[in-house]
């Protein structure tokens, strides 16, 4: 996964045609509708509640600034998945990118999360990311397994780090992927040729 493939691009998710393309400012209303269909618990690992129009407006401004790149998954005319690559080119951690993946309930279990995560991972590498990380609540076992399948490893657990709308606090798991370190490990074990 050294280079992202051209977008837009159609993929098959268990018999459902899904199109991947980059988010544009015109997609704001569709992304807001997508966010409002998600269970509230799915939004806890995001820094902001994307089900609010003001947050979507800030997201679009961040797209324009280059701090965010968002890949959307469309089924027909509806957003069914979203992968955001977050980088701050002016920080001490300009080499690090955060991946945020959210999938609609109706498309779970069809491989969309894996395909979108792989696409975002490849895209982040083409943008120069040397280390990637993802975070989610500790009970999101499917999301944890998805990232571990991409070579991410647990790095931290932040106790009671997020509070849901119901006031309940949740632990946040941080997983990371050091691209050079994982590649060197694969090389040492002869996995690069096998993969």
Domain annotation for the chain: domains and CATH numbers? 9-194 (3.40.630.30)
Q: Please tell me the predicted confidence (pLDDT) of residue 193.
A: 54
- pLDDT digit string, tens, across residues 50-95: 999 999 999 998 888 878 899 999 999 999 999 999 988 888 999 9
pLDDT value at 1 more than 60: no
> Which pLDDT band, with edges at 50, 70 and 90, does 184 fall under?
low
What secondary structure, in 3-state letters, does 98-128 show? EEEEEECHHHCCCCHHHHHHHHHHHHHHHCC
How many residues comprise the chain?
A: 195
For the whole model, what pTM was predicted? Answer: 0.86
Q: Is the pLDDT of residue 31 over 70?
A: yes
Say if CB 90 and CB 125 are below 8 A apart: no
Largest Cα–Cα distance of the chain, in whole Å?
50
pLDDT recorded at residue 194: 47
Q: Which residue(s) pair with 74 in the sheet?
A: 19, 79
Higher confidence at residue 45 or residue 121? 121
H or E element that contains 2: none
Statement: residue 44 has pLDDT above 80: no
Q: Is 130 helix (H, G, I), strand (E, B) or coil?
A: coil
Question: Can you tell me the distance from the alpha carbon of 114 to that of 145, in angstroms, rounded to the nearest whole number?
Answer: 10
| Mean pLDDT value across the chain | 88
């Amino acid at each position: 996964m050294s280079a992202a493939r051209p977008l837009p691009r159609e993929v098959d998710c268990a018999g459902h045609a899904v199109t991947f393309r980059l988010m544009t400012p015109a997609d704001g209303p569709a992304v807001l509708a997508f966010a409002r269909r998600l269970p509230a618990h799915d939004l806890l690992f995001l820094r902001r509640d994307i089900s609010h129009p003001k947050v979507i407006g800030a997201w679009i401004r961040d797209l324009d600034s280059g701090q965010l790149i968002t890949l959307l998954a469309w089924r027909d005319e509806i957003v069914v998945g979203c992968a955001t690559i977050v980088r701050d080119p002016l920080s001490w951690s300009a080499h690090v990118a955060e991946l945020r993946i959210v999938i609609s309930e109706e498309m779970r279990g069809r491989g969309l999360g894996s395909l979108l995560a792989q696409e975002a991972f490849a895209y982040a590498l083409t943008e120069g990311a040397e280390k990637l990380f993802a975070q989610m609540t500790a009970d999101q076992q499917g999301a944890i397994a998805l990232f571990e399948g991409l070579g991410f490893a647990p790095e931290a657990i932040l106790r009671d780090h997020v509070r849901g709308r119901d006031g309940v606090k949740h632990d946040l798991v941080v997983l990371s992927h050091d691209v050079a370190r994982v590649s060197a490990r694969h090389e040492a074990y002869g996995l690069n040729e096998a993969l």
